[in-house]
Structure 1
């Protein structure tokens, strides 16, 4: 087997791995929190919120693993951190 064939096989394998992880990410549905929603959180993977600092209610997102180690995404509202001098 020549080196070009080996390089092509490695590139093909790497592209397949990247595509598989992108498909797995796309398969994760986003749930919107409402009062009383049952949350099965084993471990929080990441948390984010609107990028501009605001005083008031902002959009936030939490990505977590449930008790079956499945990735879940939850959108919710929270009070922003941009209030200066407020408690």
Structure 2
């Protein structure tokens, strides 16, 4: 998980306006119990791509993070 986080963080640093990278980094934060960092990344997903599938997923999942399983990292870019 540490290596994955390192690579996703580097991706976000190189491409800060990429919602898929931010979603995936937020997912890593969520799975490692860092809700504040997850929310920061996922808020940015919604800001960057408000009408995307990822943004809708984020908006649906944020309220249920503590009680249910969450979505998998993105596999394909959304528009």
TM-score range, shorter chain: under 0.3
| TM-score (norm: length of structure 1) | 0.22
Higher helix share: 2
Higher strand share: 1
Asked which structure has the greater CA Rg, the reply is: 1
| TM-score (norm: length of structure 2) | 0.24
